[in-house]
Amino acid sequence: MKIRKNIIPVNHTYLIGNEKKYLIECINSNWISSEGQFVKRFENNFTKKIGKKYAVAVSSGTAALQMAFDALNFKKNDEIILPTFTIVSCLLPIIRSHLKPVFIDSDPYTWNMNVEELEKKITKKTKAILVCHIYGLPTPMDRIIKLAKKYKLKIIEDAAEAHGLIYNNKYCGSFGDISIFSFYANKLITTGEGGMLLTDNYFLADKMKNLRNLYFGKYDRFIHNEIGWNYRMTNIQAALGCAQLEKWNSNIIKKKQIGSYYQQFIHKNDNIQLPLKEAYNSKNIYWVFGIILKGKFQNKAKKFINILKHYKIDSRPFFYPLHLQPIINKVHYKINLKNLKVSESISKNGLYLPSGLGLKKNQIKYISKVVNQLLEE
């Protein structure tokens, strides 16, 4: 097979709308910091899109997660249930807030939290469920909401990877007491770096606005009675976000098309597990196109990634399970490591292929041809 000269990146940013126009407006107005018209405009437009009352734009999705935990006033040693198969950003605020993580294993097909295991992990100390929609498919939120009501738990919904994903005729990110989004460069909507918190609770929204802005005093600006952060989104970031939101529908179509091409071109065999096309009546948004190696390729994901690089194809390994992270040992958590084997297997054998919005059909054909050849040799 003839190898390409140029590498196909795992992500290719898609900036073909009004991004440049709005950035020039920022520069001409001289409002480039967190003050300026685009921040509020981006917040308002995003609430209308997702279907929540209040939005707080921040500097990153990780910052949004930290602020969600700070706003909900958990107490030391409160328990937070979360999937072990997700990005470390979900664990960090739990550690910083001196809370206890309670990990749930993965569903082997959707790769999301296995909700069948959730109720038996709830104790008197449980205060919240952190839900993450992984790699383009939803966690079944109706079951989560039912349990949250039954046990009076808060829901923090991480929809960082679920832009445009619909569950029960509503967008993911509309179900949490607090929901968060990331706008990192590989997301459907990007501001380079950036994040958003959404809620229907006025008091939570007000608190989060203070938390992102150093908790300045109401009557004397430089008297601080609470601990806050500088997690502000800049007007420049928000300008990008406003332009990106205008392409929401077309970007969703593009993402689904990329996933559809991969499903069409990659041969199904005993050595590979492809992502589900849909789950819980929700069609995969294909934030990334993940594959799991099986059969004779089991436990060889790292080697496979290196071989793909030889063919000028960039790829990434799956998340490393949170319960195995070295920082867990540093904070001396007593974690029950039993019944978390699915996530360990997924992590060890999974990788995702180039999935950015700028990916072209002929590139997908080439990637698929290489994958087919390697798996069938």
User: What's the distance, Cα to Cα, between the start and end of the chain in Å?
Assistant: 13
CB-count burial class (<10 Å; 0-12, 13-18, 19+) for 19: buried
Pick out the chain residues at pLDDT < 70: 1, 332-333, 336
pTM of the model: 0.95
Q: How many residues does the chain have?
A: 377
- Please give the pLDDT value at position 33: 87
DSSP strands (E only) in 159-208: 166-167, 170-171, 178-182, 195-199
CATH 3.90.1150.10-classified regions of the chain: 248-376
Whole-angstrom distance, CA of residue 289 vs CA of residue 285: 10
- Residue linked to tokens 């909900």: 72
Whole-angstrom distance, CA of residue 370 vs CA of residue 367: 5
Axis-axis angle for helices 301-310, 361-376 (nearest 10): 130
CATH 3.40.640.10-classified regions of the chain: 19-245
- Please give the pLDDT value at position 63: 97
Whole-angstrom distance, CA of residue 241 vs CA of residue 191: 5
The architecture (CATH level 2) of 19-245 comes to 3-Layer(aba) Sandwich (3.40)
Under 8 Å between Cβ of 195 and 60: yes
Whole-angstrom distance, CA of residue 290 vs CA of residue 303: 16
- Please give the pLDDT value at position 332: 63
Task: Quickly list H helices, the chain.
Answer: 19-29, 37-50, 61-71, 92-96, 141-151, 202-211, 235-245, 248-265, 301-310, 326-330, 341-349, 361-376
Tokens of 253: 């179509």
The conformation of residue 213, written as its DSSP 8-state character, comes to B
CATH 3.30.460.10, applies to 248-376: no
Axis-axis angle for helices 61-71, 202-211 (nearest 10): 120
